[in-house]
Amino acid sequence: MTRRLKLTEGTLPVLVVLAILLVALAFAGPAYSEPAGYLALLKRAAPLMILAIGQYFVIVSGGFDLSVGSLVTAEVVIAARLIDGDESATAWVLLFMLGFGALVGLVNGLITTRLLVPSFIVTLGMLLVLDGAVFLWTGGAPRGALSDAFRTVGRAGFEVPLLGQVPWSVVLLAVIVVAAVFFMRGGTGRTLVAVGDNETAVRLGGGRVERLRTLAFVLSGLSAAVAAVLLGGFAGVSAQVGDGLEFRVITAVVLGGVVLGGGRGSVVAAMAGALTLESLFSLLNLLGVSGGLESAVQGVIIIAAVAYASVGSNLFRHKVVNQEKTHEKETAAQQ
């Protein structure tokens, strides 16, 4: 029987850590003495949190998507070249970006599920393809410019009494969070988790494993496109805008308690992990800690997550074996 999905599964530990970090930020920096400081934190964290939602779908179904950082860079560079400061081109370029992100995700998913190539290899290859294509196209110096309308979502907001300026990126994040939670409450979301937990059981139950895993990659590609819109608006055009995001988002997801290998974890916890990671780096920056420590922290978290998943898998196998032995003894005694 498929285990019922709990949207808050594994969320408590990361929420406790997040609460501690938010309190620490209030003592470490005067900017966090008012709501505006935390809204600014959410604005910075929004792209990573949106990427974490897409990465969650892939990881919980048993895969990896290492191409999201390069996809973000490609999306921003392409958008700047196509718009080139023309406000009237903004709408169709935004649609093109979403379509391109979905297409990259579809290619990743089809190669992984139809050709049975491990997702780690497929998306690593896509990372290299996108990086190489961007470099060949730009020569390392992106051309063109994003329109003001394009950049509005990433850098502007609206005034709210007592809170100050609420960024549009935070509003967009809230909409995507609600959509993701409702998606995971539905049958497709539950089955997606079940695929990572027990692929054979889903197949025997009539579930379309290949389609579900491909859908996860498409959703990851779409999340990268949305994150590119926010990062392009916030940081402008750069050939390095997405550098390292693939490892940062995986770190964020596993920090939220999503188990590498699939089957366990919630979308809420994945997003909380992304916000926790961004809060941690903000705190380290305020304390004057070297930025090089960020990579070390990410590495430690990923290694710990892999070790935890391995230990948990071994314990689960031992439990199953012991239950089977107990059942065999009981059956023999009855005979």
Q: What confidence score (pLDDT) does residue 332 get?
A: 54
pLDDT single digits (tens) 12-28 = 788 888 999 999 998 88
pLDDT single digits (tens) 115-145 = 999 999 999 999 999 999 888 887 777 788 8
pLDDT tier, 109 (very low <50, low <70, confident <90, very high otherwise): very high
Give the number of domains in the chain: 1
CA 318 – CA 96 distance, rounded (Å): 50
The CATH number assigned to the domain holding 158 equals: 1.10.3470
Amino acid at 256: G
Q: Identify whether 47 is part of a domain.
A: yes
User: What percentage of the chain has pLDDT greater than the value 70?
Assistant: 87
pLDDT tier, 171 (very low <50, low <70, confident <90, very high otherwise): very high
CA 310 – CA 295 distance, rounded (Å): 23
CB atoms within 10 A of CB 140: 9
Q: Between these two residues, 270 and 309, which has the higher pLDDT value?
A: 270
CA 180 – CA 191 distance, rounded (Å): 14
Q: Identify whether 246 is part of a domain.
A: yes
Contacts of 43 (CB under 8 A, 6+ apart): 157, 167, 169, 170, 234
Domain span at residue 149?
11-289
Q: What confidence score (pLDDT) does residue 196 get?
A: 87
Q: Identify whether 316 is part of a domain.
A: no
Backbone φ, ψ for residue 167 (5° rounding): -65, 145
Q: Identify whether 214 is part of a domain.
A: yes
Q: Identify whether 333 is part of a domain.
A: no
CA 214 – CA 216 distance, rounded (Å): 5
Are 228 and 79 in contact by the 8 Å Cβ rule? The answer is yes
In the predicted model, is pLDDT for residue 318 greater than 80?
no
Q: What confidence score (pLDDT) does residue 271 get?
A: 92
Q: Identify whether 325 is part of a domain.
A: no
Q: Between these two residues, 327 and 192, which has the higher pLDDT value?
A: 192
In the predicted model, is pLDDT for residue 320 greater than 50?
no
b/e for 49-76, b at 16 or more Cβ within 10 A? bbbbbbbbbbbbbbbbbbbbbbbbbbbb
Average pLDDT value for residue range 265-281: 90
Q: Between these two residues, 37 and 163, which has the higher pLDDT value?
A: 37
| pTM as predicted | 0.87
Q: For the residues of 181-246, what is the DSSP string, one character each?
A: HHHHHSHHHHHHHHHHH-HHHHHHTT--HHHHHHHHHHHHHHHHHHHHHHHHHHH-S-TTTTTTHH
Q: What confidence score (pLDDT) does residue 331 get?
A: 57
Q: What confidence score (pLDDT) does residue 1 get?
A: 38
pLDDT single digits (tens) 211-270 = 999 999 999 999 999 999 999 988 778 888 888 899 899 989 988 888 887 777 889 989
In the predicted model, is pLDDT for residue 277 greater than 70?
yes
User: What percentage of the chain has pLDDT greater than the value 90?
Assistant: 45
pLDDT single digits (tens) 58-87 = 999 999 999 999 999 999 999 999 998 889
Q: Identify whether 101 is part of a domain.
A: yes
Helix 187-197 with 209-235: angle, nearest 10 deg: 110
Q: What confidence score (pLDDT) does residue 333 get?
A: 58
Q: What confidence score (pLDDT) does residue 325 get?
A: 53
CA 335 – CA 324 distance, rounded (Å): 17
pLDDT tier, 99 (very low <50, low <70, confident <90, very high otherwise): very high
Q: For the residues of 106-154, what is the DSSP string, one character each?
A: HHHHHHHHHS---HHHHHHHHHHHHHHHHHHHHTTS--S---HHHHHHH
Three-state SS for 293-328 is: HHHHHHHHHHHHHHHHHHHHHHHHHHHHHHHHHHHH
Q: Identify whether 123 is part of a domain.
A: yes
Mean pLDDT of all residues in the chain? 84
Backbone φ, ψ for residue 29 (5° rounding): -140, 135
Whose structure tokens read 């290619």? Answer: 107
Whose structure tokens read 């539905």? Answer: 186
